[in-house]
Amino acid sequence: MFPERLTTGYQSFLDGRFASERARYQHLAGLGQAPSIMVIGCVDSRVSPEVIFDADPGELLVARNVANLVPRYEPEGTQQHGTSAALEFAVKALKVSHIVVLGHAFCGGIKAFASDEAPLTSSDFIGRWMRQISPAADAIATPKTDWEAYLRQLEFASVELSLKNLMTFPFVKAAVEQGELHLHGAYFGVASGKLLVRDEKSGTFEPV
């Protein structure tokens, strides 16, 4: 049976937001989408980019995965790359002007990687996916004994790694160098609601 929560939520949407924005939806249906911003976020149910940025339909192109990771450019790899495909669509087809990698506090994927516990194993999907951040983890100076500080640094490092990996995609690198595309890092505090944005020059995350 389809979840009742979704049925009632849809009815509320249909009677409320859709009814008031029907013209916008019809416009988007007729002309297609043309978002200028792509957000690469985490699948965490507490961190919805559309909610955090109060976005209207058609404003944001959103790709979400465990721990908001962008893999390196590997066109000949044997794995299916959903994030890479979304990135190619955003840059080459939609020609977005901005890509934001949105990390967040209390990330379950980051914690699982740091503590090396379930659901991570050497053979499952999450374990293999999260091993991508090993280089970032190796570069962190904060000792694991300061657990909360270490986790937060690793959450920031995952954003940094994704920004670095974005530049391994030739079409991203070319668009950035031509000034057509801008890359950004951001971090959302789930409990505080605070948004930190990475300063491109210093590499530090500062409050908006």
The third-level CATH classification (topology) of the domain covering 33-207 is Beta-carbonic Anhydrase; Chain A (3.40.1050)
In terms of residues, how long is the chain? 208
- Residue ranges, comma separated, of all CATH 3.40.1050.10 domains in the chain are 33-207
Predicted pLDDT of residue 142: 78
d(CA 206, CA 195): 8
What would the two tokens of residue 116 be?
């090396």
Identify the three-state secondary structure at position 26: helix
User: How confident is the prediction along the chain (208 residues), in pLDDT tens digits per residue?
Assistant: 999 999 999 999 999 999 999 999 999 999 999 999 999 999 999 999 999 999 999 999 999 999 999 999 988 766 668 999 999 999 999 999 999 999 999 999 999 888 876 666 666 788 888 889 998 888 887 777 889 999 999 999 999 999 999 999 999 999 999 999 999 999 999 999 999 999 999 999 999 9
Answer yes or no: are the C-beta atoms of 93 and 31 closer than 8 Å: no
- pLDDT at residue 78, as a whole number: 60
Q: What integer pLDDT is reported at residue 79 of this predicted model?
A: 64
CA distance 67 to 170: 23
CA–CA dist 145, 158 (Å, integer): 20
Residue 81's pLDDT is 84
